[in-house]
Amino acid sequence: MITSIGNPRKITKAVIPAAGKGTRLLPLTKAVPKELIPLGRRPVLEYIVDEAIESGITEILFVISEEKTAIRSHFGGSLDCVRFNYVFQTEQKGLADAVYCARDWVGDDPFAVVLGDSIISTDQSVLPFKRVLDAYETTQASGVILVQKTPRDEVSRFGIVKPKNAIAPVFEIDALVEKPMPADAPSEYAIAGRYAFSPKIFEHINRTPIGANGEYQITDSIGCMLADGAQVWCVALGENEVRRDIGTFESYFEAFRLMMNQ
């Protein structure tokens, strides 16, 4: 890719995992992929694709399944400034496995992962996802994760990061804990659905054991990366920036309200 000449840490490729079963939104997701249900006037994935394009992404790989080819019908092959590609995840074995399906397409380039069921609204001029890509470019991190401050009594729903030093808009971590009890949580910062990775993540995914819910968890793969001595950094969402996933009806309704007027 011409874009990586000159700066090997510049990211122009994004993987959007969208092959999950969406069981928590049944019966809505029986025939319609979760990632295509409406948020206000547009399907979820259109907001996510816009966010990627605005952040400088020019190549997108959707990870889909045989049941979710409607995503390919919706986006086709390209828009003016971005090309769309598709790969099938044959068995839904978790997010880390979905990302692993992208390894041939990614090759030796650094790349981003944008969850297909998670949207972010911001009041800042630089999008949070772009700040993740910028942090990858300007640090020596092998992984950069977007995080969101979460009330302590809700930390047990998320992967929580352990900061190495003080919290700042961009900070380094030395561990991650999946769904900790509030008293054991190493911080109140939860993983928020946007990542940048060195292609070395595939080696770590390959070594990741099956985790929570009997699935391969990307949080565990990032843990392997840290255990290997690699740097992992976080970008924190600001006070007026909101991330919503559409995983449950409750969060879907909140996301719908958030995007209703956009």
Phi, psi at residue 234, to the nearest 5°?
-125, 150
Rounded-to-integer distance, Cα 19 and Cα 28, Å: 16
Instruction: Report in angstroms how near the CB of residue 223 gets to ligand UTP at its nearest.
Output: 18
Q: What is the DSSP pairing of strand 118-121 with strand 242-245?
A: antiparallel
Q: Is there a contact between 53 and 82 (Cβ–Cβ < 8 Å)?
A: yes
Nearer to ligand UTP, 95 or 235 (CB): 95
Q: How far apart are CA 188 and CA 51, in angstroms?
A: 25
Considering the complex, state which of residue 105 and residue 172 has its C-beta at the smaller distance from ligand UTP.
Answer: 105
Q: Of how many residues is the chain composed?
A: 262
Site string for ligand UTP, 195-234 (x = CB under 6 A): ----------------------------------------
Which among 58, 25, 40 has a CA at the least distance from the CA of 248?
25
- Encoded one letter per residue, x for contact with ligand UTP by CB under 6 A and - for no contact, window 233-262 reads --------------x---------------
Closer to ligand UTP by Cβ: residue 17 or 110: 17
Residues within window 2-31 making contact with ligand UTP, judged by CB under 6 A: 17-24
- Judged by CB under 6 A, the chain residues 103 through 142 that form the site for ligand UTP are 115-117
State the amino acid at position 205 in one-letter form.
I
Sites of contact with ligand UTP (CB under 6 A): 17-24, 34-35, 63, 89, 92-95, 97-98, 115-117, 247
